[in-house]
Amino acid sequence: MINVCFSDSGKQLSLCMEGHAQHNPGNDTVCAAASALGQTLVFALEGVEEITLDVRASKGKLFVAATPTAETVTMFRMAHAGLVAISEKYPKNVTVKGEILPYMPVE
């Protein structure tokens, strides 16, 4: 089971992923899809200037945290949408908790 958690504190956005889908060991397309979304989020965030980015990855684990901006919120929301879609199709293999709220500029 891949457990995914999104958090939006207003000051930091975060994603944590842990586990393995175990959908089809040796040829696990569910795990590959979830991993691709997580890694795409990291690659996209690395291209954003003037944000604080924290990425920690190890076997079966990914943690990503970033400063909320209009751009980063959109990226996190897209990753959230993709992971939720996977969890709805494969509920025995992926769970998603939390959400990312629409961007609200701090004045």
Low-confidence ranges of the chain (pLDDT < 50): none
pLDDT for 106: 67
Judge contact between 70 and 81, C-beta under 8 A: no
Query: What residues contact residue 91 under an 8 Å CB cut-off, 6+ apart?
Result: none
pLDDT for 81: 97
Task: Please tell me the distance from the alpha carbon of residue 16 to that of residue 7, in angstroms, as a whole number.
Answer: 9
Q: What is the DSSP string of 40-80?
A: HHHHHHHT-SS--EEEEEETTEEEEEE---HHHHHHHHHHH
Which pLDDT tens digit goes with each residue over 58-77?
999 999 999 999 999 999 99
Nearest to 55 by CA among 63, 67, 45: 63
User: How much is the pTM?
Assistant: 0.92
pLDDT for 70: 94
